[in-house]
Amino acid sequence: MIEVGIVGGTGYTGAELLRLLARHPHARVTVLTSRQEAGQRADALFPALRGFCDLRFSGPEPEALAACQAVFFATPHGVAMEMAPSLLARGVKVIDLSADFRLKDPAVYQRWYRRPHACPELLAEAVYGIPELRRHEIARARLVGNPGCYPTAVLLGLLPLLEAEAVEVDGLIADCKSGVSGAGRELKLGSMYGEVAENFQAYALGGHRHQAELEQEIVALTGGRGGLVFIPHLLPMFRGMQATIYARLTRIDLDLQALYERRYRGEPFVDVLPAAAVPDTRSVRASNVCRLAVHRPAGGAMAVVLSVIDNLVKGAAGQALQNFNLMFGLDERAGLDTPPLAP
């Protein structure tokens, strides 16, 4: 068994990691940290884990974490970059679910996260962990920056069009909606039930932190070109995310359905729906699946891509586990092959 540590196990993504790893055939969580909940059993904080996880939370002791073969950081931004260098030096593989290792430019990180990066020398080495894009790099990596939920949904939706050079990259639009769990587990007025229920609104119109990731990856895919309008919205539900992507075609004769089916053929966690189908967030609930549909309204020059994921699984913990599997040479589907939860 591969011994695993989770730093920051009390948030939604930490709980998802525990849920998924509880059934993993080749991994066992041996260290689970939380300063605030130290001494408490995980299944007391998360009763759904009764019978699956009897670990107690402990403080983030460096020696205990260094005894693991891999450590997941499900922490606020700024924690992983302080702890990762010493773990890497001890031979521990690191998967960071915060933004500390997603961005390559430390100046861009400081601009968006309001702090200097603690180990900028590691940014070039860190692999941006979308398996469908960088599978071979992830398999060789010792440090993976797990992508944000919005970028995961948007980039999976855009990849076939960008790789085929089939769209105008300066006029891309990503109109995105997320459930409230994307805001995290801490108490915030804007994510309280009474504020979210029976309501729908856009937010972060002045700039969302995930914009930086999206710009970085689109520029990398297009050889230095690209411009994306990205507008997130908050939905009155807990889980789920949809990205509706608009892209003006430069190749009108292209068979979009065939392009998407060909690009994702054999991908275990990307499902391209049949022509004219429409995905919904409920169809991916609690799963690591991204469902895609591509349309050309009225046969015109605009491609519309619909991409749905569970923001806590494919958008966070599930993708992190998929990266873990690749890093250790395991079946990519290990611990992730259960169907979505329905109804």
Active site residues: 149
CA distance 313 to 184: 14
Note the residue count of the chain: 343
> Of 293, 239, 245, nearest to 270 (Cα)?
293
User: Which tokens belong to 158?
Assistant: 């855009």
